[in-house]
Amino acid sequence: MYPQVLLQNRKPDRIATLAEYQRSGGYEGLSRVLEAQAPTEVRQVLLDAILLGRGGAAFPAGVKMMTVAEDAPFPRYLVCNADEMEPGTFKDRVLIHADPHQLIEGMALAAYAVSAEHGIIFIRPEYEGAARILEREIGIAREAGFLGKNILGSGFSFELVVHRSGGRYICGEVTAQLNALEGRRPNPKQPPPYPTEKGLWQKPTVLQNVETLCCIPHILKNGAQWFKDLALTESGAGTKVFGISGKVNRPGCYELPMGVRLSEIIEEYAGGMKNGAAFKACLPGGASTSYLTQEHYHIEMDFEALKKVGNRLGTGAIMVFDQHTCMVAATLNLIEFFARESCGWCTPCREGIPYIRDILWRIETGEGEASDIPALRKICKYLWHAYCAFAPGAVAPVEGLLTYFEDEMTAHINQKKCPFKGS
């Protein structure tokens, strides 16, 4: 059993209360920091800890905070991205339901690091239960003096509210989320200016994922070196809450050291493959990552190792496929999702994704032609020129299909049917 940090207070049927969180050392970091550390020192610790964003992009949280200029105007905003709409991902829901005060303390500390006085938790409508928990626990934290005016007599003030989304995948994109918060149509905006310069209401805004923020209290309490030492690999830092689903016996969230092997997650924690099925492939971090196959079965799951094989750790949402799963059909399902969720703002994404969907649909239904494969490769390349990261994400599994499962595509085309379906 590896050390549990973010999920140490998880219970099967209820949240950890404020008292329980405090018994595990909760809010100690905040008290100590407000008493003895300057915001620049906090930023430096997070930078030293190599805390990479857990929402998918893996951008260093410390670097993001450093880009808020010393003389940047006020008010400054801290936004917590609890939108979590990446297919396969449910870790943020689990984190909020396990230990809401961990997120609240993380936000107070992050806000202090960039001198933000307003905090907003942007949450998807499917997580109404989590939204209510947060609203209630924010009230409790305020009563206890951990939020609001003059926190713990330090002179630092921070107000925190919950913002409910109307529900749309693109809202997870930083600039789209800022538009959504302003009551505008959530199309992405292309920087510059970056949100840390001109974000919400044209004021400096730092946006971080739930899991990233949850790491912060522990880093400040135990130090940057402690956090780095949690990882099994030299390149990794901290733990990762992996959400595993699909053809495994025990789908769920498991907090494991960064760099743990994929095979260990599947066999030791997720209880192995279901009904004696064989591992065929998985998506390592949500729908907008590429496939890992048998050749990657023992890969070390951290940001660097995945990058080396041309993939991404993304959100760490592992979706496992077995030998009976048709990879053309699985990819078609993924691209259906992206076609539906594209905001429609730019042409490559709006037109290109449905084009890919139509070709995959033809292949899956036995109407594909050999020329479809090079055509798909070409269109995928065009989609890298879209306005935001949505389309490059959408083509990641398609490119994975082309790289690792071209034989399955060819079998569909030659047999004029899906070989995984009975004749």
Residue 12 makes contact with another protein by CB under 8 A: no
The CA distance from 269 to 255, in Å, is 10
Residues 6+ apart with CB under 8 A from 88: 243, 245, 283, 286, 287, 315, 317, 318, 319
Count of residues of this chain found to bind another protein when the rule CB under 8 A is applied = 50
The CA distance from 193 to 187, in Å, is 16
Residue 8 makes contact with another protein by CB under 8 A: no
Least distance from another protein to the Cβ atom of residue 283, Å: 8
Nearer to another protein, 166 or 276 (CB): 166
Nearer to another protein, 48 or 267 (CB): 267
> Residues 285-311, buried b or exposed e (16+ Cβ, 10 A)?
bbbbbbbbbeebeebbbbbbbbeeeeb
| Binding segment toward another protein, per CB under 8 A, in 18-26, 176-184, 207-215, 300-308 | 176-184
Nearer to another protein, 74 or 201 (CB): 201
Q: Tell me the residue length of the chain.
A: 423
Residue 49, token pair as written in the block: 């800890």
Nearer to another protein, 165 or 239 (CB): 165
Please identify which residue in 35, 38, 74, 128 interacts with another protein, judged by CB under 8 A: 128
Residue 52 makes contact with another protein by CB under 8 A: no
- Give the CB-side neighbour count of residue 262, counting CA atoms within 13 A: 29
Return left, alpha or beta for 16; rule: phi > 0 is left, psi -120 to 50 is alpha, else beta: beta
Please identify which residue in 64, 97, 101, 124 interacts with another protein, judged by CB under 8 A: 124
Interface positions, 298-337, toward another protein (CB under 8 A) = 317, 319, 321, 325, 330, 333-334, 336-337
Q: Which amino acid is at 295?
A: E
DSSP-assigned letter for residue 373 = H
Residue 315, token pair as written in the block: 């959100």
Residue 158 makes contact with another protein by CB under 8 A: no
Least distance from another protein to the Cβ atom of residue 38, Å: 29
Element (H, E) at 102: helix 100-114
| Binding segment toward another protein, per CB under 8 A, in 15-23, 145-153, 177-185, 261-269 | 177-185
DSSP-assigned letter for residue 158 = B
Interface positions, 347-386, toward another protein (CB under 8 A) = none
The phi, psi pair for 407, rounded to 5°, reads -60, -35
Provide the 3-class DSSP secondary structure of residue 184.
coil
Nearer to another protein, 340 or 381 (CB): 340
| Binding segment toward another protein, per CB under 8 A, in 39-47, 159-167, 354-362, 366-374 | 159-167
Nearer to another protein, 125 or 139 (CB): 125
Provide the 3-class DSSP secondary structure of residue 221.
helix
Least distance from another protein to the Cβ atom of residue 313, Å: 17
Residue 115 makes contact with another protein by CB under 8 A: no
Residue 208, token pair as written in the block: 């971080």
Provide the 3-class DSSP secondary structure of residue 201.
helix
| Binding segment toward another protein, per CB under 8 A, in 140-148, 242-250, 299-307, 359-367 | 242-250
Residue 10 makes contact with another protein by CB under 8 A: no
**Surface-to-core class of residue 33, CB atoms within 10 Å of its CB (0-12 exposed, 13-18 middle, 19+ buried):** buried
Residue (of 76, 93, 35) closest to 214 by Cα position: 93
Least distance from another protein to the Cβ atom of residue 88, Å: 5
Residue (of 318, 82, 332, 356) closest to 213 by Cα position: 82
Least distance from another protein to the Cβ atom of residue 390, Å: 13
Q: Which amino acid is at 360?
A: L
Nearer to another protein, 153 or 166 (CB): 166
Residue 276 makes contact with another protein by CB under 8 A: no
Nearer to another protein, 167 or 193 (CB): 167
Residue 269 makes contact with another protein by CB under 8 A: no
* Sign of the torsion angle spanned by Cα atoms 371, 418, 243, 177: positive
67-96 footprint of another protein as x/- string (CB under 8 A): -----------------xxxxxxx-xx---
Do you find a cis peptide bond into 188, omega within 30 degrees of 0?
no
User: Where does this chain bind another protein (CB under 8 A)?
Assistant: 84-90, 92-93, 124-128, 163-169, 180-186, 201, 243, 245-247, 251-253, 283, 287, 317, 319, 321, 325, 330, 333-334, 336-337, 340-341, 343
